[in-house]
Homo-oligomer: A and B are copies of this chain.
Amino acid sequence: MVTVAVDAGGADLGPGEVAAGAARAAAGGVRVLLFGPAREIGPVPAGVELIDAPVSIAKQADPAHAVRTTPEASIVQATRAVADGRAQAFVSGGSTGPALAAALFNLRRDRGVYRPALALPLPIPGGSPVLLLDVGANAVCRPEHLVQFAHMGSAFAQAVIGIPTPRVALLSNGEEPGKGTPDVVGVHEQLAGARGAGLNFIGNIEGTQIVGGVADVVVMDGFTGNVTLKLIEGVSSRALRVLTEMADTTPRGRLANRLIAPTMRRLGEEIDPEGPGGAYMLGLRQLGVVAHGRFSARGFARAIEVAARGVQQDVIGRTRLALRDAGALRSPRLGAGADDELDSSSAPTATVSAP
């Protein structure tokens, strides 16, 4: 049985909502170590062990500093539980910055990995999900980061989504190899060169094509990834809402609204941000899942289940292997241990980014 360490701090609806999600996940067969304020959470069911951790650093402006100086914080304790072997994965419902900083500090980057990335399997109604990464761990990415993300995403899509040869695309402002910032153009060249090394790189895609079913994995920097994810959420919900509002102004439209309501609900479920359970933190020595602070109990339960399944599917081991096979690991030129250090520059640029 997989044990997942869960940080109850930082959820918009309060730690009780995370606890309710933990209870659901426990009922489904996952063991949960829950770190949060015991006084607020109250009794927990069998399968959930509550560790009193009333301090949350989810809203701290300087996550790296907060992690270093607040060992008792719920997210720090949750990631330490994974580092100590008491759990095999962690789930954070708080903001991404502290989760990333705590994970780098306690779990450390996997050997040869430049930067962890947040990977989100975006549900596509009537199609298979498309994996977007990075959706917010690194606002600024160097070309070698994006190249690694492509391999990490490809390995993930194979292991978790079950696609034998994932189509990997690079997001740019034009399909031609020369389109994009100089960094993006450089990444394109490197990915095109990696086609022999097991990467099914299909080239650049434009914004229109992200939801068009042409790629299984789309690589982008964390700033663009955050904007992309939030724009998809905002535009799809607004388009459907405006249609309903416009129809609602005529008797014929009102009837149409009543008749189409079940379909609208079904579509809403398919594009539900809680569906994927959050974004996977890839590139660490162990697995983390970053849920969205706005999630309800259902979403947190899903995040915990997704983390447990990721452990069973050995997401970390398979990503590591894919990076090694592709020759996409960072050379240890910085000396032993240097790549495991907490890179404080990453934390301030990290942002809330799960769906």
Q: Which residues of A contact B (CB under 8 A)?
A: 61, 125-126, 136, 139-140, 171-174, 176, 178-182, 184, 206-212, 222-224, 226-236, 238-240, 242-243, 245-247, 250, 252-253, 255-257, 259-260, 262-264, 266-267, 271, 348-349, 351-353
Structural contact, A226 and B206, CB atoms closer than 8 A: yes
- Known A-B contacts A240-B239, A264-B243; the reply to A181 vs B227 at CB < 8 A is no
Q: Which residues of B contact A179 (CB under 8 A)?
A: 351
Structural contact, B243 and A240, CB atoms closer than 8 A: yes
Cα of A295 to Cα of B246 in the assembled complex, Å: 26
Q: Is the interface of A mostly helix, strand, loop or mixed?
A: helix
Structural contact, A208 and B223, CB atoms closer than 8 A: no
Q: Which residues of B contact A173 (CB under 8 A)?
A: 136, 139, 222-223, 226-227, 351, 353
Cross-chain pairs A/B with CB under 8 angstroms, 17 sampled: A139-B180, A173-B227, A174-B351, A179-B351, A207-B229, A208-B233, A209-B234, A228-B231, A235-B235, A235-B239, A240-B240, A247-B263, A253-B259, A253-B263, A256-B260, A256-B263, A259-B259
Residue in B184, B223, B239, B250 whose CB lies within 8 Å of A239: B239
Q: Which residues of B contact A61 (CB under 8 A)?
A: 176, 178
Structural contact, A212 and B227, CB atoms closer than 8 A: no
Q: Which residues of B contact A263 (CB under 8 A)?
A: 243, 246-247, 250, 253, 256
Q: Shortest beta-carbon distance, A348 to chain B, in Å?
A: 7
- Known A-B contacts A243-B263, A263-B247; the reply to A210 vs B226 at CB < 8 A is no
Residue in B208, B223, B246, B262 whose CB lies within 8 Å of A125: B246
Q: Which residue of B lies closest to A174 (CB)?
A: B351
- List the 3 closest A-B pairs by CB distance, nearest first: A207-B230, A256-B259, A173-B226
